[in-house]
Amino acid sequence: MRLMTFRYARQDHAGVLTPEGIAPVLEINTKYDLRIPNSLLEIIREDIREIPTAGVRPIRLSEIEPRLPYAVPPKIWCIGLNYKSHAEDIAAVQPEEPGSFMKPASCMFQPGGKIYLPPPEVSDDVDAEGELGVIIGRSCRFVPVERAREVIYGFTTTLDLTALDVLRKNPRYLTRSKSIDTFFSFGPVIVTADEVPDIDALEVITEHNGGICSRDFVGNMKHRPLNLVSFHSDFFTLHAGDIISTGCPKGARIKAGDTVGARIEGVGTVGATVHQGERKPFGFTA
């Protein structure tokens, strides 16, 4: 099943993608006398993995606006240097354990939306990284790797950004370099785990200005998705809707005027246009 949050007639809705378009959850509820939440996060929390769409008139994709699957994930975990090619690109050594860090929801932008580069005095060397995102499906702790699939709801594409010059100053600045506004997006599609029988066979592609910047298979990760779920569950409880963004083969250095995106066949595509941001103070009295 392929799920998406979309905007139609100025309202956001949850829906199921079909070959003809998107079947809104509200229409499905009416047709089948169901009470499926009109929220992807709530659908995940209720572990709903099958939703009927037969007989429901879909909305054409040209009539809707894709949105973030949900705007405030419980947790966003990302994995650094998980591909050898990415470590080589920034002259870093791959860590023996997953190089994980968190990102705040305030850094997210809508799929297909705009990335605003920070003012040059904040950062003037930014890259964008296409990645596979793992969506956790239930609260869990101490998950054996052989049972990690049981707690995964599905997969998505993510676009993660890094202020490389900030990071070069000190590796302890990693979270700061990753948390600038418009430095993360995911979706717009979430694919349930049953649609991906072989996670290792997925190819993660970063696109830049119409070409391919990097590509590699999940099977070549140093720490693969099931291991990442198990490893992190040893340290804290994972909750439904948590995202683990599993790393990029190589990032694309971006500048204003560029286009950039992530593509994973069988999972989805997320892209953005790149713009130069400005220093515009707000939130206080001048």
Predicted confidence at residue 96, as pLDDT, reads: 84
- DSSP β-ladder status, 114-117 and 268-276: parallel
Model confidence at 88, pLDDT cuts 50, 70, 90, reads confident
**Average pLDDT in the 170-196 region?**
96
pLDDT at 253 over 80: yes
pLDDT at 94 over 80: no
Question: Rounded to the nearest 5°, which phi and psi values hold at 182?
Answer: 60, 35
Q: Give the span between the Cα atoms of 243 and 240, in whole angstroms.
A: 9
166-179 pLDDT per residue, tens: 999 998 999 999 99
Average pLDDT over the chain reads: 95
Model confidence at 92, pLDDT cuts 50, 70, 90, reads low
Q: Give the span between the Cα atoms of 50 and 28, in whole angstroms.
A: 12
Predicted confidence at residue 286, as pLDDT, reads: 61
Sign of CA dihedral 232, 146, 42, 192: positive
Q: Domain limits of the chain?
A: 2-66, 76-276
Question: Rounded to the nearest 5°, which phi and psi values hold at 148?
Answer: -65, -30
Domain covering 76-276: architecture: Alpha-Beta Complex (3.90)
Q: What pairs with residue 238 in β-bridges? A: 140
pLDDT at 263 over 70: yes
Burial of 55 (0-12, 13-18, 19+ CB in 10 A): exposed
Q: Give the span between the Cα atoms of 147 and 194, in whole angstroms.
A: 14
